[in-house]
Amino acid sequence: MSRIDPKGVAPASGEDGSLYAARQKVYPKAVNGPVRRAKWAILATCLALYYLVPWLRWDRGPGMPDQAVLVDIANARIFLLWIEIWPQEIYFLTGLLVMAAIGLFAVTSLFGRVWCGFACPQTVWTDLFMWVERRIEGDRNARMKLDAAPMTRGKALRKAAKHAAWLAIAAATGGAWIMYFQDAPTVTRAILTGGASLETYVFFGLFTATTYTLAGWAREQVCTYMCPWPRFQAAMLDENSLVVSYRGWRGEPRGKAKAEGIGDCVDCRGCVHVCPTGIDIRDGQQLECIGCGLCIDACDDVMRKLNRPTGLIAFETLANLAASEAATAQVAPGPVRQVCGMKARQPVRLSRPRTWLYAGVLGAVAAVMLGAFLLRPTATLAVLRDRAPIFVRLSDGSIRNAYTLKLENRTRPDAALALVLDAPEGFRLLVQDSTADAEARPLLTLRQDGITQWRALVTAPAGARLPESTPVRFRLLDAAGNTVLAERSVFLAPK
């Protein structure tokens, strides 16, 4: 079994040369400060949105679901307030995912892994689970002592209470996820009374188990080993990105607070003890760092107690770290070095080619998405010609082709439109099970907020000299005679 270093981080390989090292549990310590308060605010906002959004109502009229946000798999529809996304419009979701990815790239290039440290679901639920753990088992030292103690009745009760609370949160999380796909009040009642479908219980159990496992047990291992983002986030960063950094030019050499000739870092390891992934930020940028900034609060608290300036650990750019390091290379530790190092810093450059590139791409994608959404039709017509047989010769010698007309109506009221055929003279149109208007044109009804399907038969007169393929066009006219929908096809005849 390989050894774990004192920081609580497993080395890359064991002493025996193996690539496996057993995990040593990380015991993050509670901390207070501006960063921690910001994290609590974001956590509360994210959880409130996740749990409450399925319960919001939106009146869409009779016969329509009144849930504001709903992925209606049964009716193949996604409802987002007043917006409806149909299956053939899945490209809108693709566009939103592209925008989210570009936005994440842009934010990372500016501020490092703030998404990972503040808003990532893994971070949010892990924070919530650790808060519950502290409330039941105590802070860092108490939890370490409890885990090291032999099993007693008190320890068993604490552990049972913690895991019961975790399971309750995980169940609420899994249930809330199901509510995005089924009506929230209905599915909640069905789950609690045993009336839900087998599929509902399977997915409810799946999301409950994954939440409990990832937030309660895996924790930092998800960020370190399972998540791909740390592997390529370095490509998004540059020397002007604001990332959580240790100002070594000010803190080194480390030593006791009252010792002579040392920097501001007193090696209290407070930054290590609060880190949710168990790393030492003083070792520089690391793959495991999620950029949560809790080490900033811990270090600032120590600096205030020592009557020293805060900011030994801060959101800083590599360019400023290098400039401060160069400016203080020949300056002894103390207030003068602090002044020289901070004076050498330059204002953070948020506007630079990389950020403008991301902003331009994001704006272009957003413009395309908005244009496509505003110009999308409220009704569509699709004409599908039968492929087997491609034509039929009737007893009188005429040639017939069959077509399937699919009409999609995305508006609320029903509509009846007249169908006309643009084709060579003598062609006849018949639509099965349809009525006719005063001009004997077939009337096709577009079902309210749905899809209707009609069977159309086109017949060419006997003896007509036809090419192998003749273009035809189907048009739907409103009461005023205006063309509402049109679709082209072909009429096939024997060679």
Strands (E), 242-337: 243-246, 313-316
Cβ–Cβ under 8 Å, residues 158 and 136:
yes
What are the b/e assignments for 244-254, b being 16+ CB within 10 Å?
Answer: bbbbbbbbbee
Query: What is the predicted pLDDT for the residue at 20?
Result: 63
Q: Which two tokens stand for residue 222?
A: 């998800």
Q: Which two tokens stand for residue 38?
A: 């910001």
Residue length of the chain:
495
Beta bridge partners of 136: none
**Tens digits of residue pLDDT in 282-336:** 999 898 999 999 999 999 999 999 999 999 999 999 999 999 999 999 999 999 9
What are the b/e assignments for 396-407, b being 16+ CB within 10 Å?
Answer: eebbbbbbebeb
In the block, tokens 């959880």 appear at: 47
**Which are the contacts of 285, defined by CB distance < 8 A and separation ≥ 6?**
243, 245
Q: Which two tokens stand for residue 403?
A: 């077509």
Query: What is the predicted pLDDT for the residue at 366?
Result: 95
Query: What is the predicted pLDDT for the residue at 433?
Result: 86
Q: What whole-number percentage of the chain has pLDDT above 70?
A: 95
- Positive or negative, the CA dihedral 71, 77, 80, 85 is positive
Angle at alpha carbon of residue 19, lines to 16 and 21, rounded to 5°: 80
Low-confidence ranges of the chain (pLDDT < 50): 1-13
Query: What is the predicted pLDDT for the residue at 3?
Result: 37
